[in-house]
Structure 1
Amino acid sequence: MRGQGRADTGSWTEDPYTEALGLGCGPLYLRAHGGWSLTLDVERWCAVADAADLTVLDRCQGTVLDIGCGPGRLVAALGEYGHTSLGIDVNAAAVSRTVLRGGRALRRSVFDPLPTPGTWDTALLIDGNLGIGGDPALLLRRVARLVRPGGLLLVEVAGEDVDERLQVWMENARGTRGTPFPWARLGTPALHRVARATGWSPEDTWSKDTRDFTALRRDRFPRPAPG
């Protein structure tokens, strides 16, 4: 949950998110009307890759694009694995932290022009980044244009069977709020439905330390339109 779409970059470039990244810790919350709330794991984002992250890194193939890289723990670890990788994030502090860790990162939205589109072997949507822009189908279609035919997308999903579209904001323990922005949360069944409609085939699912993941493979050829 470390990057946002072009229209929503303000939410990720101002306090309280930037402040939390600078401190390397929370508390930081994602909130919505009606009492909906999700605690954001800033400490884990700012630490080194953990055991659950390693299950993702073990599945990466070739060149890797980390979408919403945050403070760069996965980009740094990918370098240790010998992968050529690039992190993208709209938050300047996140990009700076990634570079300080020795990773390569650009301050970009996934919807901005990016290097070598259509050639990346693997893309990552970890830490809730499937929610970017609040429209998972739009996001998966965009990532399909970035990854090569037959390429891989590794996604972290919600642990429960949910399919939510929300207007949310960041909020810290002092009650300071960021600008509202659209977000989405999908569990595995909902992700598989969206994936099949946007040029991806589910390949694997797994869990580690209360976190849940899905691997999607980009279709090599366009699917015929339903007749």
Structure 2
Amino acid sequence: MTLTAVSTALAWRADPYTDALRSGRGPLFLHRQDGWLLPLEVERWCAAPDPADLTVLRRCRGAVLDIGCGPGRLVVALAALGTAALGVDVSPEAVRRTRRSGGSALCRSVFDPLPGEGRWHTALLLDGNVGIGGDPAALLTRAARLLEPEGQLIVEAAPLDVDERVEVRVADGRGAFGAAFPWSRLGSAALLRYARATGWRAAERWTSAGRPFVVLRRA
């Protein structure tokens, strides 16, 4: 694991995030150095899949790897449908919650060695997880190595025209902070630029409940 991946893993194990997952509710934010706050949708993550999530689940095929699975709502839903699915997350509490709910998950970074490398049919980067590591090109390149040659990567973009790489901390809005770590936010246009540069093509695009999604396949 790189130093960046280590710092990210430690940050997501910070008490504000762990406490929010244990309670199933926020408030929780990504806090940028200039004081800007991005609300994190803990309640949605800890609930059953919503209608926008269902549009993603309907497009999953074969064995599914959920990168940054959080509390595991999608992994659990896929398992209930009889689909082979594995979540990976750097937060031990996220992995515990996923397993308690009936899903399979590993406490690892996406940049660690993972089971089935090169054989997954579908990989997911939802809920802002295209920001993992703060280096979209590195993450998209890594995702390509995890999938079979004809596999698909389903990515959720930010609902804004944004392309930023910043340092953030997890915060609860009441004075508690985690460690700083690098993060990215990509709107659809920026995501497609990084995708083309790393050998992907957009196979499908749609928006549901204001959330933009893209299916990427190897060019």
- Into which bin does the TM-score normalised by the smaller protein fall? over 0.9
In 1: Cα distance, 2:139 partner to 2:200 partner: 12
2:142 corresponding residue in structure 1: 142
What amino acid maps onto 1:145 in structure 2? R
Give the secondary-structure state (helix, strand or coil) at the position aligned to 2:138.
helix
2:74 corresponding residue in structure 1: 74
Pairing 1:124–2:124 present: yes
1:49 corresponding residue in structure 2: 49
Superposition CA RMSD, Å: 1.1
In 1: Cα distance, 2:116 partner to 2:173 partner: 41
Count, aligned residues:
216
Q: Please tell me whether the aligned partners of residues 148 and 218 of structure 1 are also in contact (alpha carbons under 8 angstroms).
A: no
1:105: Cα distance to partner? 0.6
Give the secondary-structure state (helix, strand or coil) at the position aligned to 1:56.
helix
**What 5-or-longer segments of structure 2 have no aligned partner?**
none
| CA distances 1:156-179 after superposition (whole Å, capped 9, x unpaired) | 100111101110011113111110
1:37: Cα distance to partner? 1.4
2:196 corresponding residue in structure 1: 196
**What 5-or-longer segments of structure 1 have no aligned partner?**
220-227
2:30 corresponding residue in structure 1: 30
2:12 corresponding residue in structure 1: 12
1:204: Cα distance to partner? 1.1
2:158 corresponding residue in structure 1: 158
1:80: Cα distance to partner? 2.2
Q: Please tell me whether the aligned partners of residues 64 and 84 of structure 2 are also in contact (alpha carbons under 8 angstroms).
A: yes
1:91 corresponding residue in structure 2: 91
In 1: Cα distance, 2:57 partner to 2:122 partner: 10
In 2: Cα distance, 1:108 partner to 1:136 partner: 18
In 2: Cα distance, 1:190 partner to 1:94 partner: 29
In the superposition, the TM-score normalised over structure 2's length comes to 0.96
Give the 5 Å matches for 1:103-114. 103-114=103-114
1:103: Cα distance to partner? 0.6
In 2: Cα distance, 1:120 partner to 1:191 partner: 21
Q: Please tell me whether the aligned partners of residues 72 and 95 of structure 1 are also in contact (alpha carbons under 8 angstroms).
A: yes
In the superposition, the TM-score normalised over structure 1's length comes to 0.93
What amino acid maps onto 1:90 in structure 2? V
Q: Please tell me whether the aligned partners of residues 6 and 112 of structure 1 are also in contact (alpha carbons under 8 angstroms).
A: no
